[in-house]
Amino acid sequence: MYSRDLWPRDLIRLRAHDATRPGPSAIVWPSSQGDLARIVAYARDTATPIVPFGAGSGVCGGIAPDRQTIVVDLKALTGFTLHPDEGVVDVGAGMLGITLENELEALGYTVGHFPSSILCSTVGGWLAARGAGQCSGLYGKIEDMVVGCDAVLGSGDAVRMRWRERGPNLAPLMIGSEGTLGIIAAARLRLHRTPRARAYAGFMFRDVESGWEALREMFQSGLRPAVARLYDALDTALHSSKSGPSKDPSWVLRNALRIPNAINHAVRGLEGALLNQCRLVLIFEGEPAAVAEDRERALRICTSYRARDLGEAPARAWLEHRYSVSYRQSPVFRSGAFSDTMEVAAPWSKLRAVYDEVRRALGRYVVVLAHLSHVYPDGCSIYFTFSAMTDSDEEALARYDALWPAALGAALAAGATLSHHHGVGRSKAPLMGAELGYGVEMMRRLKQVWDPAGVLNPGALLPKETPKAAALPRDLAECALDEKSLLADFDARLSLDQCENLLVRRGYTLGIARAGSQSLADWVAAGLPGARCRWEDPVDQTLVALSATLRGDAALTLTPVPRRAVGPDLSTLFVGERRVGRLARVTLRVHPVAETPSRTLPGSITSHDALSEGEASAWEQAVAAQLE
């Protein structure tokens, strides 16, 4: 059970009775951070690979130990401590999500993180994979909830990482590192009072694009439904059937899964005609009067896009069965078929191309349906579910290995990120260079100093080959405005006042409290002073992307996508820090001058001041690694 996670490729191999992968040499259960530090020190000194293990619910091949590997099961690191006055909770990395939320709810609190895997995932796993929960529309993803974390680096050093308003911040480098830089022992998460009320809504749109345009208007006008899930026509049709996709596939469905290309072609032909219903589910949380008002605002927006009001029933039914998706895979595999999911994210301006191109790429191999489930003012995630029936497991593996690079390549070409919340593991690692470019080398350098013996989860996250350093594009406009996504890409040499003037002419503003003559590059290096507080509206981010020149001729380009989950957040190396590289471009979220403010979450988080000795040492190592 410790030799794999729930990567569907391994499930196909398991069904084929392929037992070629060995188990680990040992499994250990640390019950304290001291235990964990001793285990890591032993691994470092003996060059023994170690792999952290939460609950094994990852789907990207993050677990693949060999006979020399020690698996570190963290589920003995449990328990939590409330700090209501500070608005945070300290929780052990091994605590199961459902246990945490049930116990917090009994005390009148919530973290707000409800992934579909909450029954079989741990807090440490959430951070390691940069996960998202079903209520991300209000509370954000896990990285928007983390105030700090305790981790043991591969060097054996125990480091307590805490959030600072102006930086530097180490936690964003640990979040999403998938056990390759350090092992997370505990997390400090933002705490909320249990919402006093919920408002439910359901709508039916004639096509999926009308639905996502309604969602775009909602989030850009300040609405923050905790749950927002829009199903495309095929997904709506399957979920509307009595059996639904969770049951054992019927004879008709099994045979349909044998001809996916024909089925997908037929579906595309019927969209807008017979397949002309796309369901949207919304749930608002908060104070009674506020959620009732927000529901009415959502109703007005949706009906303006000619949606039919379905009342509360669809949202209430969804909430009752919100975790059922965790159990839908088994019947499909037992029937002889296989299924998997792919979650990418893109700005609103790229969404149509991503939706079409990924469906086209997948459609040659599998039957495809999709829904949108994590929405932001600048874009959203598309979650593709796909399945096929083959004559043998060998054929299934061959098809599986062909479809993933084709679909991910199509997503990247259309402007999406490889992952929004599942992470990378081994399944997506080969394409990391296509998205991050020199960022892969930056991650390797960080690993060399934080895990000098290379013992932490070898083979995960990082591709075998590092892409060549590419130069930054030249002759770009001073300001490139994406009005649909409310994003502006600026030359980093411009001052804040110059950026503001360029925007105001077109009806937009930076929304920064204190603009001035400071350049954008200096403003980022100073820690984004005057930017909107991340804790008030965690769904809305100020700094979306950047590009910079680094050592020699190396260049880093992070494309603007909402909340990528492809390793550590490398942009944090530039916030509150000047030494890593020279910023060339900065992409910021901009706001209409006459914007309706969003409802902010109550409570504030105290910023820590000076770095502790352990943090300072780890930060200097991270910076120095990029300068060598």
* 580 located within any domain: yes
* 58 located within any domain: no
Q: Which amino acid is at 6?
A: L
CATH number, residue 492: 3.30.465.10
- Whole-angstrom distance, CA of residue 530 vs CA of residue 309: 41
* 614 located within any domain: no
CATH number, residue 374: 3.40.462.40
- What is the dihedral angle through the alpha carbons of 262, 267, 270, 275, rounded to the nearest 10 degrees? 150
Same domain, residue pair 152 and 231: no
Q: Based on the structure, what is the number of domains in the chain? A: 3
* 96 located within any domain: yes
* 29 located within any domain: no
Residue for token digits 């900065």?
Answer: 586
> Does an H or E element contain 339, and which?
strand 337-347
Q: Which amino acid is at 239?
A: H
- Report the pLDDT value the prediction gives residue 246, as an integer from 0 to 100: 44
- C-alpha distance from residue 292 to each of 194, 283, 287, 304, 531 (Å): 17, 11, 9, 19, 30
- Report the pLDDT value the prediction gives residue 472, as an integer from 0 to 100: 86
* 31 located within any domain: no
DSSP E strand boundaries for 5-117: 26-28, 50-53, 70-73, 80-83, 88-92, 109-110
C-alpha closest to that of 387 among 236, 255, 242: 255
- Whole-angstrom distance, CA of residue 309 vs CA of residue 513: 40
Q: Which amino acid is at 471?
A: A
Same domain, residue pair 378 and 485: no
Query: Per DSSP, what are the bridge partners of residue 582?
Result: 549
* 565 located within any domain: yes
What letter would DSSP give residue 250? P
- Report the pLDDT value the prediction gives residue 406, as an integer from 0 to 100: 97
Give the 3-state secondary structure of residue 558. strand
Counting Cα atoms < 13 Å in the Cβ hemisphere of 582 gives 9
Same domain, residue pair 171 and 267: no
Same domain, residue pair 214 and 321: yes
pLDDT tens for 356-410 read 999 999 999 999 999 999 999 999 999 999 999 999 999 999 999 999 999 999 9
Q: Pairing relation of β-strands 26-28 and 70-73?
A: parallel
* 46 located within any domain: no
Same domain, residue pair 119 and 259: no
Q: Which domain holds residue 172?
A: 82-193
Same domain, residue pair 242 and 187: no
Same domain, residue pair 214 and 178: no
Same domain, residue pair 108 and 152: yes
What letter would DSSP give residue 115? -
Which stretches of the chain drop beneath a pLDDT of 50?
Answer: 242-249
Same domain, residue pair 373 and 224: yes
Same domain, residue pair 162 and 213: no
- Whole-angstrom distance, CA of residue 149 vs CA of residue 132: 17
